[in-house]
Structure 1
Amino acid sequence: MAELAGLEDPKAREVNERHGDDHGVNLGKLRALAKRLRTQRELSQRLWETGDTAAKLLATLICRPKAFERDELDTMLRTARTPKVHDWLVNHVVKKNPHSEELRQAWFTDPDPVVASAGWALTTERVTKKPDGLDLTGLLDIIEADMKDAPDRLQWAMNHCLAQIGIDHRAHRTRAISIGEHLQVLKDYPTSPGCTSPFAPVWISEMVRRQDAESGA
């Protein structure tokens, strides 16, 4: 904890707090610390239990993802209220855990929109890597009906799913683009030069263009 405190950067904290994250540790330095520590399950647990955001982030990097029970991960997600902790827990831990599909189904319909956003993030992973068994048409129906008025973090997760369906599944691409154009979600989101807009029609078109360029299509 003392070493983490020593990595505190007021400027980084100012930027992070604008995104809802209450820590000031440079994430590159945090990853370097995790690389040095390597996997340490007990230390990871103790770091998580401090409740400190930087400590929780470090915990997700040095834990043993497959060792967690389903209910442990459910409890952890519900206490991971800052966006970055939530994101790293899902991506670095839950996605690698044998209970990920069970949790995906449970979280997807959870009444808490932050928890539901984790279910959508796991669904997006399946859209790209393991789409067999997913009802892509049904997912697009839900997105079309609910994304416009969804709370911010849930809306962002649903929009990501919409974009990946359009990018990865040609048969659904036209409809995915049409839904994005109709709903206009994130159309005016500020995007840095050289970055791709999160507005689904632009995102889909740009990623498909890159794929075609790489394949020589």
Structure 2
Amino acid sequence: MAELADLEDPQVRAANEKRGDDHGVNLGKLRALAKRLKTQQELALRLWETEDTAARLLALLICRPKAFERDELDAMLREARAPKVHDWLVNYVVKKNPHAQELRVAWLADPDPVVASAGWALTTERVAKKPEGLDLAELLDVIEAEMRDAPERLQWAMNHCLAQIGIEHPEHRTRAVAIGERLEVLKDYPTSPGCTSPFAPTWISEMVRRQQAR
């Protein structure tokens, strides 16, 4: 914790707080510290218990993802309100855990939109890598009905799933693009030069173009 305190940078904190992340540690330096510490599950658990955002990010880098029980991960997700902690927990830990699919189903139906967004993130992973058993048409039905009015983080997660369905599954591409065009979610989102817009029809078109150019 003393090392993390020494890494605190007011400018980094100011930038992070604009995104809802209450810490001031450069992520490159945080990863370097994690690389030095290597995997230490017990230390990771103790760091998580501090409730400090930088400490929790470090914990997620040095933990053993497969060591957590289902209920532990569920509780951790509900505590992970900082966006970066939430994102790393889902992507670095839950996706590698044997309970990932059970949690995906439970979280999708959760009334808490932040928890539900994790369920959609795990679903997007399935859409891209292991779509067998998913009802993609039903997912599109839910996205079409709920995405426009969803809270921001849930909306982002649903939009990512919409785009992934359109990118990876040609048989659903026309409908995915049509849903995006009708709902217009993130249509006017500011995008830096050279980056792909998160507006689903644009995103789908660009990624399909890249696939076909290979």
TM-score when normalising by structure 2: 0.99
Matched, 1:32 2:32: yes
Amino acid at match of 1:149: D
SS at match of 2:194: coil
| Aligned residue number for residue 144 of structure 1 | 144
Amino acid at match of 1:162: L
| Aligned residue number for residue 111 of structure 1 | 111
C-alpha deviation, 1:35, in angstroms = 1.0
Amino acid at match of 1:158: M
C-alpha deviation, 1:114, in angstroms = 0.3
Please show how residues 1-217 of structure 1 align to structure 2 within 5 Å: 1-214=1-214
For 1:92 and 1:208, how far apart are their aligned partners in 2?
27
Percent identity between matched residues is 81
Amino acid at match of 2:192: S
C-alpha deviation, 1:8, in angstroms = 1.1
C-alpha deviation, 1:5, in angstroms = 1.1
C-alpha deviation, 1:110, in angstroms = 0.1
Amino acid at match of 2:59: A
- Uncovered stretches (5+) of structure 2, i.e. residues with no partner: none
Amino acid at match of 1:125: E
Aligned residues: 214
C-alpha deviation, 1:211, in angstroms = 0.9
For 1:140 and 1:65, how far apart are their aligned partners in 2?
31
Amino acid at match of 2:110: D
C-alpha deviation, 1:165, in angstroms = 0.3
For 1:73 and 1:61, how far apart are their aligned partners in 2?
15
What's the Cα RMSD here? 0.6
Amino acid at match of 1:50: T
Amino acid at match of 2:203: W
For 2:13 and 2:126, how far apart are their aligned partners in 1?
33
Amino acid at match of 1:46: R
What do residues 126-145 of structure 1 show as CA deviations (whole Å, max 9, x unaligned)? Answer: 00000000000000000000
Amino acid at match of 2:114: V
The runs of 4+ residues in structure 1 deviating greater than 4 Å are none
SS at match of 1:189: coil
For 2:120 and 2:37, how far apart are their aligned partners in 1?
31
